[in-house]
Structure 1
Amino acid sequence: MKIRLKMTKLEITGGIQDYFQKKMDMLDKYLNGVQVLNCDCEVEKIGGGQKSGKVFRAEVNLEVPGSLLRVEREEIDVYKAIDKVKDHLVLVIKKYRDKKGI
């Protein structure tokens, strides 16, 4: 699956890109039989400085025939945000497959 990854208010590092790619590659087994038209992803730093709490946001928009599967999660750590978005996307893909009978 070809992924377009956008980083907002973050330096683009190979570590984050590789980690994101690895997590998205894990979705291939759930996407078996589903044609992915586009996969747009964004990782953003939404807070900082003295702000506490969830300061990183990860978002995935997966365009499949007839639907847009969209998941967004916020966390205190960029890697946790990526993990949470991947975990929730698995559930969304399963729901889509059940609905379409794939």
Structure 2
Amino acid sequence: MKFNIRGENLEVTGAIKEYVEKKISKLERYFDTTPTSDVHVNLSVYNDEQRIEVTIPMTNLLLRGEVEHVDLYAAIDLVVDKLERQIRKYKTKVNRKSRQNGAAKHVFAEMEKEAAIEQIEEDSNDFEIVRTKRFNLKPMDSEEAILQMDMLGHSFFVFTNDASGETNVVYRRNDGKYGLIEPNI
């Protein structure tokens, strides 16, 4: 992990930087391979309130936590706890829905591999298909499809509805809510 630590109304000392890196690096134990993403940390002080914002964009998952506390070191501990809860929540949901694929730790690794394998082809014609992606449609419910879409960081997700057997699409609306597209039978 590469750390990008900024301070607003606060000087980021070597001790603070070392403490932040040490605590956030503990999140690496949840993954098979060490994530190569940047870790964006913003420390700020307003009216005796210490605030820490941590954003970790990964291939299939966006981890984000924000905490305010009177003690900066306590805020750092609390934001790491919040990020750990997010990781466990996603892993539990994925693991519960797809036990046949093994541990959730391996599911995250597999999803990262699938995203890396996507092929990109460029062509000069505006109407040419410049990218083709093939994947297996696994039966799932709309809740799991939304979870998968969020973890991939996409605005839509195509899946086979396990109840009807039809191909459906879930998508993120402009208002932040979700929509479901079903074929008209």
Give the TM-score taking structure 1 as reference length.
0.81
Specify the alignment match of 1:92 in structure 2.
86
| Helix, strand or coil at the partner of 2:55 | strand
Conserved in 1, the CA contact under 8 Å of 2:42 and 2:52?
yes
Specify the alignment match of 1:41 in structure 2.
41
Give the TM-score taking structure 2 as reference length.
0.47
| Helix, strand or coil at the partner of 1:91 | helix
CA separation in 1, counterparts of 2:9 and 2:32?
A: 34
The runs of 5 or more residues in structure 1 that have no matched partner are: 49-54
Opposite residue 38 of structure 1, the aligned amino acid is D
Residue correspondence of structure 1 range 41-80 to structure 2 within 5 A = 41-48=41-48, 55-80=49-74
Over 3 Å counting, the alpha-carbon distance change for 1:10 and 1:93 in structure 2 is same
Conserved in 2, the CA contact under 8 Å of 1:62 and 1:70?
yes
Conserved in 2, the CA contact under 8 Å of 1:58 and 1:82?
yes
Opposite residue 93 of structure 1, the aligned amino acid is I
Opposite residue 50 of structure 2, the aligned amino acid is F
After superposition, the CA RMSD in angstroms is 1.8
Deviation of 1:36 (Å) = 4.6
Q: How many residues align?
A: 96
Specify the alignment match of 2:160 in structure 1.
none
Specify the alignment match of 1:11 in structure 2.
11
Deviations, residues 33-78 of structure 1 (Å, cap 9, x unaligned): 5745331111111223xxxxxx000111010123321110000100
Conserved in 2, the CA contact under 8 Å of 1:4 and 1:39?
yes
Conserved in 2, the CA contact under 8 Å of 1:39 and 1:63?
yes
Specify the alignment match of 1:51 in structure 2.
none
CA separation in 1, counterparts of 2:34 and 2:89?
A: 12
Higher RCO, 1 vs 2 (CA within 8 Å, ≥6 residues apart): 1
Conserved in 1, the CA contact under 8 Å of 2:44 and 2:51?
yes
CA separation in 2, counterparts of 1:2 and 1:34?
A: 11
CA separation in 1, counterparts of 2:38 and 2:30?
A: 16
Over 3 Å counting, the alpha-carbon distance change for 1:94 and 1:34 in structure 2 is farther
Over 3 Å counting, the alpha-carbon distance change for 1:98 and 1:23 in structure 2 is same
Opposite residue 30 of structure 1, the aligned amino acid is Y
Rg larger in structure? 2
The runs of 5 or more residues in structure 2 that have no matched partner are: 95-103, 108-185
